[in-house]
């Protein structure tokens, strides 16, 4: 088997396994038990709060389990009608991922880069600042993208994506959507690709971590929403 085929097979195995894991962890009773435990202050809430924040794409990221370089488990809370600098951005990720929709519904579009046709967008390379956690965006010129897939993911469904897959997702209901997100850390890239048709982006966007009380309050709110689901 050629190296490229071995790499593709390895990525496929990773995303398949990640999808199965996140679907198991996202079962209502199991997830509620984990969230309630963390909301009570178990674990290391200060460290988790430091890596929890409002994402530039407009949703809240709450770190649940920090598995070091191999995996990180987060809860994402998507707000209907959210506006942020990167809300409309099409992007990929640093490593393979899997996500499970706990409540609500997500809409998603998949894209591929192409030389002509499709939509025109500005392309950026996104990376993290060396001496901080801010997002850095380096413009790399115009690009064209073609829409290849549209879909909806309701509560109880899961999806997994290789790192290079270009996509855009948003809350597709009038109530918040909650997803469980597993970042595998396998073959982690140094940067991601971001495409926008909404005008130029600033060169850097601050990543503001939550205070511990904000983090615990968000977890308590999430637990209450899961109990009422």
Per-residue pLDDT tens digits for 92-107: 999 999 999 999 999 9
Please say if the pLDDT value at position 229 is more than 80. Answer: no
What does pLDDT average to over the chain?
Answer: 89
Q: What is the pLDDT of residues 54-113, one digit of tens each?
A: 888 889 999 999 987 778 999 999 999 887 777 789 999 999 999 999 999 999 999 999
Q: Which class for 83: exposed (0-12), middle (13-18), buried (19 or more C-beta within 10 A)?
A: exposed
- What is the reported pLDDT for 191? 92
What are the pLDDT digits (tens) for 184-194? 876 688 899 99
Q: 1-10, 29-38, 148-157 — which is least confidently predicted?
A: 1-10
CA distance 33 to 155: 18
Contact 52, 35 (CB under 8 A): no
pLDDT at 9: 47
The reported pLDDT for the residue numbered 200 is 80
Average pLDDT on 12-26 reads: 90
Kindly calculate the radius of gyration of the chain based on its CA atoms and give it in whole angstroms: 18
Q: Which has more pLDDT, 29 or 147?
A: 147
Q: What percent of the chain has pLDDT over 90?
A: 67
| Residue 132 scores a pLDDT above 80 | no
Binned at pLDDT 50, 70 and 90, residue 14 comes out as: confident
Q: Supply the pTM of this predicted model.
A: 0.89
Q: How much is the pLDDT for 7?
A: 41
Alpha carbon distance 108, 22 (integer Å): 18
The pLDDT of residue 5: 47
Q: What are phi and psi of 158, to 5 degrees?
A: -135, 155
């Amino acid at each position: 088997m050629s190296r490229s085929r071995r790499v593709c097979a390895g990525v496929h195995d990773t995303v398949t396994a990640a999808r199965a894991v996140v679907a198991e962890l996202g079962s209502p009773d199991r997830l509620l038990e984990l969230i309630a435990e963390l909301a009570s202050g178990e674990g290391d809430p200060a460290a988790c709060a430091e890596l929890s924040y409002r994402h530039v794409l407009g949703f809240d990221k709450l770190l649940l389990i920090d598995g070091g370089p191999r995996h990180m488990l987060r809860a994402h809370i998507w707000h209907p009608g959210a506006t942020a600098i990167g809300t409309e951005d099409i992007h990929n990720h640093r490593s393979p991922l899997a996500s499970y929709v706990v409540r609500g519904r997500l809409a998603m579009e998949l894209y591929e880069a192409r030389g002509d046709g499709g939509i025109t967008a500005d392309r950026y390379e996104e990376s993290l600042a060396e001496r901080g956690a801010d997002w850095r965006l380096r413009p790399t010129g115009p690009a064209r993208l073609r829409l290849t897939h549209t879909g909806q993911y309701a509560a109880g469904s899961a999806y997994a994506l290789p790192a290079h897959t270009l996509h855009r997702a948003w809350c597709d209901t009038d109530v918040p959507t909650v997803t469980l997100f597993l970042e595998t850390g396998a073959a982690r890239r140094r940067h991601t690709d971001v495409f926008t048709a909404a005008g130029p982006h600033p060169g850097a966007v601050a990543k503001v971590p939550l205070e511990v009380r904000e983090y615990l309050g968000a977890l308590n709110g999430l637990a209450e929403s899961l109990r009422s689901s």
